[in-house]
Chain A
Amino acid sequence: MNPYVLMILLSSLGLGTTLTFASSHWLLAWMGLEINTLAITPLMAQHHHPRAVEATTKYFLTQATAAAMILFASTTNAWMTGEWSITDLSDPLANTMFMTALALKIGLAPMHFWMPEVLQGLDLLTGLILSTWQKLAPFALIIQTAQNIDPLLLTLLGVTSTLVGGWGGLNQTQLRKILAYSSIAHMGWMIIVIQYAPQLTLLALGTYIIMTSAAFLTLKMSLTTKVSTLATTWSKSPILTATTALVLLSLGGLPPLTGFMPKWLILQELTKQDLPIIATTMALAALISLYFYLRLCYAMTLTISPNTTNSTTPWRTQTTQASMPLALFTMATLGLLPMTPAILTLTT
């Protein structure tokens, strides 16, 4: 792609999210969301390939529908109450409609079907933008309105998302679909706690962005999109294979790694709010997710692929890709857990 066009698209992507962050009026927030969708569409369709075009079409249709529903919910609220500011979304019908539209936008469980298919059709860097940067603007809106939304709806969305995110990833062999289901499960964790402790939602979103960036950049570095290719990465770069397994376990939420921090704090908050059944369900749903991360680790580190590698030792040659972001995100993914007290002090 032409670098000038790419620069315009990337800066519009930034502009859309910033506009939604900065707005207090629903129309401006909607315009930010629309700019985001319109700016990422050419990025997704830049390789003129049937799968990329299909993914772009599906993404465009869902995002345009969700944005129109968000604006309709706020217009209904304005006709009922005369208020356009984001924090004053008080009409119950408008609230429910807004939450449904936002669940469609970020891919929460009953409205998640577009997410794996879209992510499957994209290349890894656009998939990284889709699963990190594109989540920020919707979360800025939901953090501001969450106090008015029906708690039952939020709990249902959160629990079904974690369950479906675990269940859907079980039989997949495509890594991008697995990462999409992992995204659905993590979104469920963020939504379940949003009414009790919004700062924990932000913490979970931050750690999720760090972890999923590390995962996508690792896959980009080793050029893998399938489990079978992942099984031969040990011959390409042994150290990257070792950290890949740890990054995946961190996404699954195992204790000495960063991914444990949001799960731990969210479960503690749910227990404090006297919701032991929901906390137990969430913890058990995390186990289903952990199964497919463990399966990836098993295929990658504990088995030797039956095919022989014919190439000449690729780990000797210098890579041409930039490895500094990968190193930074991997370090943050593996070692942020001791920072938990500092992060808690800073956020609460």
Chain B
Amino acid sequence: MTPVHFSFSSAFILGLMGLAFHRTHLLSALLCLEGMMLSLFIALALWALQFESTGFSTAPMLLLAFSACEASTGLALLVATARTHGTDRLQNLNLLQC
């Protein structure tokens, strides 16, 4: 495992841990998701350098476009949740439990 591999893996796993265990605000969950996507962006961009593959340089751009779409969907849902529930705290999302 190279240092680069270790660093983006630990960044991803920290983001995942934050998403799984820090459950107070929806906004912090979305930020953790975005952090995971950015660590994947680093991983894909450096993979093309590491393996010297020229045909792979568009992949990080595609990933970035999709993660931007995902982040904007998440923010739209944040607004919708704030309008229907009055808050963005995740503990208020309890209407469907039983």
Q: Assess whether B9 is in contact with A76, with CB atoms less than 8 Å apart.
A: yes
Q: Please indicate which of the listed interface residues B16, B70, B81, B96 has the most CB atoms of chain A within 10 Å of its own CB.
A: B96
User: A78 — which chain B residues lie within 8 A by C-beta?
Assistant: 47
Q: Assess whether A51 is in contact with B74, with CB atoms less than 8 Å apart.
A: no
CB under 8 Å from chain B, chain A span 226-274: none
Interface residues on B, range: 35 or more
Instruction: State the majority secondary structure of interface residues on A.
Output: helix
Q: Assess whether B62 is in contact with A72, with CB atoms less than 8 Å apart.
A: no
Interface residues on A, range: 35 or more
User: B33 — which chain A residues lie within 8 A by C-beta?
Assistant: 61, 64-65, 68
Nearest CB in chain B: distance from A78 CB, A = 6
Name A82's closest neighbour in chain B (CB-CB): B51
Name A51's closest neighbour in chain B (CB-CB): B95
| Residue interface bits B68-98, CB-to-A below 8 A is 1, else 0 | 0110011001001101110000000101111
For residue A123, CB closer than 8 A to chain B, the reply is: no
Contact of A79 among B29, B43, B84 (CB under 8 A): B43
Residues of A at the B interface (CB closer than 8 Å) are 27, 31, 34, 37-38, 41, 45, 48-51, 53-58, 60-61, 64-65, 68-69, 71-72, 75-76, 78-79, 82, 117-118, 120-121, 174, 177
CB-CB nearest 3 A-B residue pairs: A117-B96, A50-B84, A53-B80
Residues of B at the A interface (CB closer than 8 Å) are 2, 5, 9, 12, 16, 19, 26, 29, 33, 36-37, 40, 43-44, 47, 50-51, 59, 62-63, 66, 69-70, 73-74, 77, 80-81, 83-85, 93, 95-98
